[in-house]
């Protein structure tokens, strides 16, 4: 019985020894090192080699590195399976040794070893020429970073302003906050044609808002000096944008054409018909593929500004450029019908040449358009039958 008890006790002690020994084995027999690598300007070094050796006495060219690990895209590395010992750790960029440090490891260690080449110790070890190059690069990098920050802010401003303009357009809402934002934007980057043209857009929208408010208050059109000045400032802003977009080896003619179109709109509001016409002609010259649209825009803005006689040739140019431009036909018709006379013999209304043709063309293109009923009524009053299949291009 005593012998059996001794055997049981011996087995229990052996089992306890195994259990107690298990945590020691879990610690491992090798070490791990991890860290980050960046160069002297602070930029991440991806894909460089982090090499370990315990050979610290050989010449660099003869030294063997039995352990080598690469940094990832973030400049981070992880070295595993390193036996305990005193190591020389060297950063290799290709065959060039860029940096080194010493580290002592023992079994089970998990240490951090960063290679920050902006540290004073590293910089001071550089040659005067190398330090000069580092400082110059830092300055350039800081300038580029600052410029990128400005661009990012301007892009955000443009996105906000464009959204505000789209929202304000139907009701001619106040966009004074956007005027302030774009004034700051052109001040930050005065060499951008796009910014100046957008500045012109917000000035034009705000001028339209103020003019609308004056109309509601019963003021005579363009009797407010502030409104007149804002339209003029808008035209001036467009001109700056146009000049910038047209200059250089690769002129941005499509953007310049948009600027001319908008400038023509601002000038037409001021009643500067000659200058407005010249601006719309500039749009057509820079982007002739959109001639019909630009001439139509000119006709619309001049007609709505009470400049019917000037709107007529613009409408005719729009029709010539695009025979399917329905809006141009109705403007032409409206201008001409206003010049209708009364036949003294028959006491019937006589429309000027081209008037009936313009109404018929409009109806053939937009039989259910916003001015369709008006066109039908006028034609009926003139004793003309509506022809929805009116031959396009008929004179």
Is residue 379 assigned to a domain? no
The whole-number pLDDT of residue 250 equals 86
The strand pairing partners of 88, in sequence order, are: 53, 102
> What pTM was estimated for this model as a whole?
0.62
- Among candidate residues 242, 258, 281, the one where a domain is terminated: 281
Domain that holds residue 157: 153-281
Token duo for residue 328 = 């141009």
Is residue 195 assigned to a domain? yes
Q: What is the CATH number of the domain that holds 57?
A: 2.60.40.1120
Instruction: Looking at the structure, tell me whether residues 120 and 172 fall in a common domain.
Output: no
Helix axes 273-286, 225-246, angle to 10 degrees: 30
- Among candidate residues 256, 281, 306, the one where a domain is terminated: 281
The whole-number pLDDT of residue 156 equals 93
Instruction: Looking at the structure, tell me whether residues 178 and 267 fall in a common domain.
Output: yes
Torsion of CA 107, 109, 110, 115, to 10 degrees: -100
Q: What is the CATH number of the domain that holds 197?
A: 1.25.40
Is residue 213 assigned to a domain? yes
Instruction: Looking at the structure, tell me whether residues 116 and 180 fall in a common domain.
Output: no
Helices (H), the chain: 2-26, 120-124, 128-168, 176-188, 193-216, 225-246, 253-269, 273-286, 291-304, 308-321, 326-337, 355-365, 372-381
- Among candidate residues 281, 316, 338, the one where a domain is terminated: 281
**Average pLDDT, 10 consecutive residues per value, the chain (395 residues):** 40 40 54 95 92 93 95 96 96 93 96 94 88 81 70 91 95 96 94 94 96 93 92 96 88 92 94 94 96 96 92 96 96 95 87 95 94 94 87 50
| Total number of domains constituting the chain | 2
Is residue 200 assigned to a domain? yes
Helix axes 355-365, 326-337, angle to 10 degrees: 150
Is residue 384 assigned to a domain? no
The whole-number pLDDT of residue 22 equals 39
Is residue 273 assigned to a domain? yes
Note whether 357 and 325 are within 8 A (CB): no
Instruction: Looking at the structure, tell me whether residues 92 and 174 fall in a common domain.
Output: no
Is residue 237 assigned to a domain? yes
Instruction: Looking at the structure, tell me whether residues 68 and 188 fall in a common domain.
Output: no
The whole-number pLDDT of residue 114 equals 97
């Amino acid at each position: 019985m005593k012998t059996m008890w001794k055997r049981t006790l011996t087995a229990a002690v052996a089992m306890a020894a195994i259990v107690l020994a298990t945590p020691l084995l879990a610690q491992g027999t090798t070490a791990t090192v991890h860290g980050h690598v960046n160069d002297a300007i602070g930029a991440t070094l991806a894909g460089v080699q982090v090499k370990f050796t315990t050979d610290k006495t050989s010449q660099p060219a003869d030294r063997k590195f039995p352990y080598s690990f690469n940094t990832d895209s973030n400049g981070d590395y992880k070295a595993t399976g390193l036996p305990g010992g005193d190591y020389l750790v060297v950063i290799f960029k290709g065959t060039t040794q860029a940096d080194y440090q010493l580290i002592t490891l023992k079994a089970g260690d998990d240490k951090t070893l960063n290679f920050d080449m902006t540290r004073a110790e590293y910089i001071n070890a550089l040659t005067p020429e190398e330090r000069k190059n580092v400082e110059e690069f830092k300055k350039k990098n800081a300038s580029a970073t600052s410029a990128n920050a400005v661009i990012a802010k301007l892009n955000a401003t443009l996105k906000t302003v464009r959204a505000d303009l789209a929202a304000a357009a139907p009701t001619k809402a106040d966009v004074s906050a956007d005027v302030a934002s774009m004034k700051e934007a052109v001040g930050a980057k005065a060499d951008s044609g796009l910014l100046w043209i957008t500045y012109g857009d917000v000035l034009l929208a705000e001028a339209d808002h103020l003019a609308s408010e004056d109309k509601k208050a019963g003021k005579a059109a363009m009797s407010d000096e502030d409104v007149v000045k804002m339209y003029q400032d808008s035209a001036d802003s467009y001109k700056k944008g146009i000049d910038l977009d047209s200059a250089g080896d690769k002129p941005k003619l499509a953007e310049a054409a948009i600027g001319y179109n908008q400038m023509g709109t601002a000038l037409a509001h001021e009643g500067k018909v000659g200058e407005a016409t010249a601006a719309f002609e500039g749009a057509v010259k820079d982007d002739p593929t959109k001639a019909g649209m630009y001439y139509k825009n000119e006709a619309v803005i001049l007609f709505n500004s009470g400049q019917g006689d000037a709107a007529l040739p613009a409408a005719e140019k729009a029709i010539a450029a695009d025979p399917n431009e329905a809006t141009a036909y109705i403007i032409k018709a409206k201008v001409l019908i206003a010049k209708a006379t009364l036949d003294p013999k028959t006491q019937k209304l006589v429309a000027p040449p081209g008037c009936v043709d313009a109404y018929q063309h409009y109806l053939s293109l937009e039989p259910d358009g916003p001015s369709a009923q008006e066109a039908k009524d006028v034609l009926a009053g003139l004793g003309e039958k509506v022809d929805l299949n009116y031959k396009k291009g008929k004179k």
